[in-house]
Amino acid sequence: MGNDDFSPYVFKSNDRGKTWMSISNGLPLETVHVIREDPVKEDRLYIGTDLGVYTSPDGGDTWHSLTSNLPTASVQDLYVHPRDGELVAGTHGLSVFILDITSLQNK
């Protein structure tokens, strides 16, 4: 990985770190800053990138953008509120945004 490499490097392990597999397929060429698991919905993942937020309903097999309700911003941190069904996205320089994810958790 050198300069100007914006490939998303996202991996998961199903055997406590003995082996790893890439789950980056389908993600745009953007630097990934954070990945979080949903504490309510098994296999639901969220990532924050240089240009927004993406979610996977199936442990990283497929990815979907959640940025339609967010301005284009570098998402540096995410928090999935376990009680309120909200995804809190902390951006670089803009603000904190809160997305209602209850419909995603109920799928």
Distance of CA 69 to the CA centre of its chain: 15
Rounded CA-CA distance 30/40 in Å is 27
User: What are the structural domains, with CATH classification, of the chain?
Assistant: 11-105 (2.20.25)
Cα distance between residue 30 and residue 27, in whole Å: 8
User: Beta strands 32-37 and 45-49: pairing type?
Assistant: antiparallel
pLDDT for the residue 56: 96
pLDDT along the chain (107 residues), means of 10: 79 95 94 94 93 94 87 91 91 85 82
pTM for the model: 0.88
How far is it, in rounded angstroms, from Cα 33 to Cα 30?
A: 9
How high is the pLDDT of residue 59? 95
